[in-house]
Chain A
Amino acid sequence: MDVVARHSVKITGRPDGQPMVFAHGFGCDQHMWRYVAPRFEDEFKVIVFDHVGAGGSDLAAYDVERYSTLAGYADDVVQICRELDLHDVIFVGHSVSAMIGVLASLDAPELFDKLVLVGPSPRYIDDENYEGGFTEQDITELLDSLESNYLGWSSVMAPVIMGNSDRPELGADLTASFCRTDPEIARRFAGVTFLSDNRAELLQVQTPTLVLQCINDAIAPMAVGAFVHDAIAGSSMVLLNATGHCPNLSAPDETFDAIAAFVRT
C-alpha cells in the first residue's frame, strides 16, 4: 500500500507553495487541524495526514514492532515527505507529534525548514529535577480509562466508524472516526506516547523551532513548554491565552496568528 493511502494524506493549497505538514496528536486525527490548516492554503501547500492507527489510516499497516517507539512514527513522517517530494518542510506537530517532528528532523534534517511544536512534552512522567505533570499511576489509569471507553468499539461498529461500511449513510460524516480507533492500537499508542522520554533529543535540534504553549494546559504544563524552549537552542516560544491541550480547536485564531507570524519570518 502506498504511503498516501496508508496515512490518508490530503494535499490542498498552492501546488508550488512551500509545504506545511500538519500532524495530529494522540487520541484524534487530521481533523484536529480543520480550523487552522486551511487558513494557510492561499500561500502554502498544505498537507494533513493520519498516523497509522488513527482516523482514515490503513489499520492493516499497524505493525506492533514498528510503532513500539516514536521512531516508527517519525520515520512515517520522513516517508511521507520523501514520497510527496517535499522540501523545506514546515512541520506543525500537535502534542506527541511535536516530538515526532523533532525526531523526524533529526533523522532527515535536510527535509525540514521549520518546526512548530504545539503543546510539546518530551516526557510526561515526573523525574528527578523534572516535572512532567504525571505519575506512572496516572498513565496506568489512562490505560484503564481507554479500555473502559472502548467497550463501545465492536466489530459491528468498527467498519462504520472507519468509513468502510456497506451502509454509506452511516459513515458519511468524515469526522465520525474522530477520536475513535481500534482499542488495542489506542492502548499501545498511549503507552508509547506517555512513557516516552525525548529530552536528550531536544538538545540536538538544529531546525528553527517555535514552541506554542497554552497558559492552562493540563497535559503539557507551562514548565514543560519552557523546558522545551530552553533545550532547543535558538527556539522561540509564544504563549496562547487558551485553556486545555488543543488550542487548534479551542483557540484557532490565536494558533493561526502565532504560526503565521513564525512561518513568514
Chain B
Amino acid sequence: VSGAQDPLFDDDAEHLHELAPCGFLTTKPDGTIINVNSTFLMLTGFQREDLVGRRRFADLLTGGGRIYHETHYAPMLSMHGRVREIALDIVCADGGRLPTLVNSVLERNAAGTPVLVRTAVFDATDRREYERELLRAKQRAEDSEARATALARTLQQTLIPPTPPHIPGLDVAALYRPAGSGEEVGGDFYDIFQVSGREWVVVIGDVCGKGVEAAVVTALVRHTLRALVVGHAGPGDALGILNDILLRHDTDRFCTVALLWLRCEDEAWTATASVGGHPMPLLLRPGSAPVALGIPGSLIGAFERPEFHDAELALVPGDSLVLYTDGVTEGRLGDEFFGDARMYDALTTNAAEPEGSAASMGSHLLEQVTTFQQGNPRDDIAIVVVQVPFSR
C-alpha cells in the first residue's frame, strides 16, 4: 500500500483527538481542565485559554448540573472508575445551554491514586428534545391513569350505599373490598333500604365481568330492584321481573342476587329470602351449625323461564344472617379455594364471642379471606351481616 495516496495514512492520534466527532476533556482529579479538543471548543464557543488551567469541569455546568455532578457523577466516578451516559447541560461561552451526554473514565497510577479524568462530551440537543417529549408523554399517561382510577373509584362508590347502613332494632354491617388495587370497577354490589315503616330489604349481588360496562348493568340492577321492591313485589317476584328486564336490556351480562326482606311485627323479626344464582344467605344461630337460608334459584338475565322461590324464617335474638359474594368462598391461594369450611370457621369462631357484633363478624371474615390470599384478593368481596341483638 502506498501511504502517500491513502488519506488514512495522514490520520494520527493528534488529529483523532482534536477533530473527533465529540468533545474531549482531560482534567485533574479535582476537575481542573488540563486539555480540551477543538470539537469541544467549537460546541461551546470557549477559547482554549478560557478553560485550560482556569476552569473546572463542574464550573461549566448549570447550577442543577453542578449539584448532580457533586452528588452523583463524582461519587460514581470515584467508586466505579467510570461513568456513562450522564445527561448534563453545559453553559456555553455565550450563556446558552448545550445539552450533552457525558462519559468519563478515571485513571489511577500504580499506587491507585487518581491522576486524571478523561471525559467525552456528546452534543445531545435533539436527543434531549426527544426525551422531553417522552417525559411529557409519560406525564400525560400517568395523569390519565390517575384520572381513570379516580373515575373507577367514584363509579364504584355509586354501586354501594353512600352512608353506613342502619336498620332500627337490628345490628347491621356491610363491607366491601375491591379486587387488587381498586383501579377497576368490580361487579359486586349491595344495597340496604327501607320499604315501609317496619320493612327493610337487604340485597347483595354480582354482575358478571368488570369495568364500566359491568358497572352500568350493576347500577341498572340495583336501582331496578329498589323500584320493584318498593312497588310491593315479593322477593321472588322482584327477581323474576329483574330477569325480564335484563333479558330485554342490550347487554349479554347476567347477574346473581340474594335478596332478604326483613319485617318487624311486635318486636319480632321475620326474614324472607329469595336467591337467583347467588350463594345463599347463611343463618348463624348461637349453638347451631351455620345453615343456608333459602332455596336455590336461577341465574338472573340468562333464562326465559327462571325459577325463584321465597323462603321465610322467624328470627330470634342472637341470630345472624350473613350475605356474601363469591369473592369470599372462591378466594384462592394457588389451586386452593377459601371455601365454605374456612368461611364457617371464621364466622363461628367469632359468633362464639359474646360481644361479637355484626361489624366484628364481618370484618373478621373479610380479614380471614384477605389474609388467605396474602393480602391481595383477585376478586371483589362484599359482605353484609344482619344481627338480631339480644334484648336488653
A145 touches B74 (CB 8 A): no
Inter-chain contacts of B87 with A (CB < 8 A): 145, 148-149, 151
Report the minimum CB–CB distance from B143 to chain A (whole Å): 14
Known contacts A95-B71, A141-B89, A244-B70: A178-B79 contact under CB 8 Å? yes
B71 touches A149 (CB 8 A): no
Complex CA gap A84/B68 in Å reads 33
Minimum CB distance partner of A246 in chain B: B75
Interface of B is mostly: helix
Complex CA gap A141/B56 in Å reads 20
Inter-chain contacts of A178 with B (CB < 8 A): 75-76, 79-80
A137 at the interface (CB under 8 A from B): yes
A17 at the interface (CB under 8 A from B): no
Complex CA gap A219/B67 in Å reads 6
Known contacts A140-B64, A245-B74, A250-B78: A147-B30 contact under CB 8 Å? no
B58 at the interface (CB under 8 A from A): yes
Inter-chain contacts of A250 with B (CB < 8 A): 29-30, 74, 78
Per-residue contact bits, chain A 70-102, to B (CB 8 Å; 1 contact, 0 not)? 000000000000000000000000010000000
B306 at the interface (CB under 8 A from A): no
A26 at the interface (CB under 8 A from B): yes
Interface residues of B in 39-98 (CB under 8 A from A): 56, 58, 62-72, 74-76, 78-80, 85-89
A175 at the interface (CB under 8 A from B): yes
A138 touches B75 (CB 8 A): no
B134 at the interface (CB under 8 A from A): yes
A151 touches B79 (CB 8 A): no
Interface residues of B in 119-173 (CB under 8 A from A): 128, 131, 134-135
Interface centre among A151, A152, A216 (most CB of B within 10 A): A151
Interface centre among A144, A145, A244 (most CB of B within 10 A): A145
Known contacts A178-B76, A216-B30, A246-B78: A142-B70 contact under CB 8 Å? no
Inter-chain contacts of A145 with B (CB < 8 A): 62, 64-65, 67-68, 87-89
B63 touches A27 (CB 8 A): no
B31 at the interface (CB under 8 A from A): yes
Per-residue contact bits, chain A 202-219, to B (CB 8 Å; 1 contact, 0 not)? 000000000000001111
Report the minimum CB–CB distance from A34 to chain B (whole Å): 8
Inter-chain contacts of A137 with B (CB < 8 A): 63
Inter-chain contacts of A142 with B (CB < 8 A): 63-65, 67-68
Q: Which of A148, A175, A218 contacts B58 (CB 8 A)?
A: A218
Interface centre among B64, B67, B76, B88 (most CB of A within 10 A): B67
Per-residue contact bits, chain A 56-80, to B (CB 8 Å; 1 contact, 0 not)? 0000000000000000000000000
A106 at the interface (CB under 8 A from B): no
Interface residues of A in 163-222 (CB under 8 A from B): 175, 178-179, 194, 216-219
Give B contacts to A, CB under 8 Å: 29-31, 56, 58, 62-72, 74-76, 78-80, 85-89, 128, 131, 134-135
